[in-house]
Structure 1
Amino acid sequence: MSGLAEPIATAAAEFRGVVRGLRADQLSLPTPCAEYDVRGLLNHLLYWAPRLLAAARKAPPPPPEPREEASRLVTGDWSDRLVTCAGELASALRQPEAWQGTTTMGWSELPASMIGRMVLCEFVVHGWDLATATGRPLRCERSVAVAAERVMRELGESGRARNVFGPEVPIAADAPALEKALAMSGRDPSWRSSTQNSRVRAQNSRA
């Protein structure tokens, strides 16, 4: 079993807490992932999480959904579905066979160990996206942040080449591991929404 299994489980628990805390009135908020607002990012996660789970289990992937349907997944019990799938992903990646050999997400084969790396980045980076967009901190243990930074160093260049990640954001060499992982994914660790910036300015003006 990979040394990433425990960081993934810890990151999954925090990610699930972030998802549970989301409110309906926050779905239109912008996120640090410039392509998505909160609803759009949740649609992305609801689409890909079951496919990552199938790949971790080396099971046939779910059939592809039309683009229009894939953009309407935040309906009904969407929060419970995403929380459940995140927990199942963490459990699947505790199994040694999830890291061995190859698997597929519906196109060509890829190393099975790649799925765990992708999942860790999804939990940490998109967990931070959702938490930051809605004005709450992401509690990311140092061991998780260090693991995410290491994985981003492994995947960052190829991800940027495929437009999965944006251009790396320059930050200080002694920045915390989480900030380095975020910067390598194309995110500005100091990002705040315009609503949050307005709130900070109002608080400063009263100080």
Structure 2
Amino acid sequence: MTIDKSVFIPVDPDTAFALITRPERLRRWQTVAARVDLRVGGEYRWTITPGHSAAGTFTEIEPGKRVVFTWDWEGSTAPAADASTVTITLDSVDGGTNVRLVHEGLSPEAAAGHTEGWNHYFERLVTLATTDDAGADDWAAAPDPLNELISAEATLAIVQRVLRTLTHGDADKPTPCEDFTVRELVEHLVGSITGIAKALGVAVVDQPDAAPEVRIADAAQPTLEAFQARGLEGTVDMGFAELLASMVANILNLEFLVHAWDFATATGQDLDVSPVLSDYVLGLAHNTISPQMRGKSFADETLVEESAVSMDRLVAFTGRQVMAD
């Protein structure tokens, strides 16, 4: 079966082409993470929602006009589907661009799910092109099922959204994380992700002058891709110690979600986290932070009302002061 869908967006074709091919633009409306080798024969991997990644190869590319790529879901937990082909054509019209998507080679069952998906994401594409902000993706908020790596992808989506709004004026603002400024906390987070990547055998190329969201995304995408390929069994040599792979994944969750709270608090942003996700990461924190780590990697747990939401209980457990409403 074939899906044939068109939308109008009020941008020129070159801008539209960037929206559908560049990782930093794809993250604004369709993906949590994206790897793109934009050349004929080049491969891509897009984490559409936590736990669901699409992968394929580019077969035709006409910048500003057309892109064709194969499409399949990655991983044993992905929806069953044979490899199919997506063609996106961009036509310049008065006031903007018509974006036409043709997704061919789908089974009837796959076509139903993909139709729902493309409707959802094309609506977000239109919103992004119109307002420059498609907003947080509800489909990424509370993945089901959850494991340590799926939740890491979900928490990555949250910290990326917070970082996306940072300005140069935010760099020297203090954060709730010890004595770190926003700039220093970005460096810490890049270092943490890079250290885990190295332990997984991945070389991350950092661009210190890039925007914070881009730096974190560019470090996190290959790290999580390698982690998904490796799995959660066994141990990982972190250099300072051999840790259970699941423990290393727990650390990524805490780095992403707790520091998202730090950045949001430092810059006056609201942090919207599903209770499903924050409850899960709170459980990971209890399994990760031992009493021996207090005073070293983590401050002592702070007091919070028993009735507090799980996100407040999580940051209190990691030693942050939670202000009462």
What is the one-letter code of the residue matched to 1:181? Answer: L
1:89 maps to 2:223: yes
Distance 1:121 1:91 in 2: 18
Query: How far does residue 61 in structure 1 lie from its aligned partner after superposition?
Result: 7.4
Contact 2:316/2:322 (CA < 8 Å) preserved in 1? yes
- Please name the residue that 2:196 is paired with: 52
Contact 2:294/2:300 (CA < 8 Å) preserved in 1? no
The structure with the largest strand share of the pair is: 2
1:131 maps to 2:131: no
Contact 1:42/1:74 (CA < 8 Å) preserved in 2? no
Shift in alpha-carbon separation, 1:189–1:161, aligned structure 2, 3 A: closer
Shift in alpha-carbon separation, 1:100–1:153, aligned structure 2, 3 A: same
Shift in alpha-carbon separation, 1:177–1:33, aligned structure 2, 3 A: same
- Please name the residue that 1:22 is paired with: 166
Tell me the TM-score normalized by structure 2. 0.50
Deviates more, 1:170-179 or 1:106-115: 106-115
Partner SS, residue 290 of structure 2: helix
Q: Considering only aligned residues, what root-mean-square deviation do their CA atoms show, in Å?
A: 2.5
Shift in alpha-carbon separation, 1:139–1:93, aligned structure 2, 3 A: farther
Shift in alpha-carbon separation, 1:105–1:74, aligned structure 2, 3 A: same
Alignment of 1:8-157 (within 5 A): 8-55=152-199, 58-59=200-201, 75-79=208-212, 80-95=214-229, 97-157=230-290
Query: How far does residue 52 in structure 1 lie from its aligned partner after superposition?
Result: 1.5
Distance 2:181 2:207 in 1: 12
Partner SS, residue 243 of structure 2: strand
Query: How far does residue 171 in structure 1 lie from its aligned partner after superposition?
Result: 0.8
Instruction: Note the residue ranges of structure 1 that are not aligned, 5 or more in a row.
Output: 63-72, 193-207
Distance 1:49 1:129 in 2: 17
What is the one-letter code of the residue matched to 2:282? Answer: E
- Please name the residue that 2:307 is paired with: 174
Distance 2:190 2:202 in 1: 17
Instruction: Say which one has the larger Rg.
Output: 2
Deviation string for 1:131-175 (max 9, x for gaps)?
A: 110110122112210111101112233463361111111111121
Deviation string for 1:3-59 (max 9, x for gaps)?
A: 22222211111111112211111001011112211111111112221111233xx31
Partner SS, residue 300 of structure 2: coil
Partner SS, residue 308 of structure 2: coil
Contact 1:12/1:87 (CA < 8 Å) preserved in 2? no
Contact 2:202/2:223 (CA < 8 Å) preserved in 1? no
Distance 1:11 1:60 in 2: 21
Query: How far does residue 191 in structure 1 lie from its aligned partner after superposition?
Result: 8.2
What is the one-letter code of the residue matched to 2:225? Answer: S
Off by >4 Å, runs of 4+ in structure 1:
none
- Please name the residue that 1:183 is paired with: 316
Deviation string for 1:69-90 (max 9, x for gaps)?
A: xxxx884115222222223334
Deviates more, 1:15-24 or 1:79-88: 79-88
Distance 1:87 1:61 in 2: 12
Distance 1:17 1:34 in 2: 23
Distance 1:122 1:188 in 2: 17
Distance 1:166 1:75 in 2: 29
Distance 2:281 2:296 in 1: 19
Partner SS, residue 99 of structure 1: coil
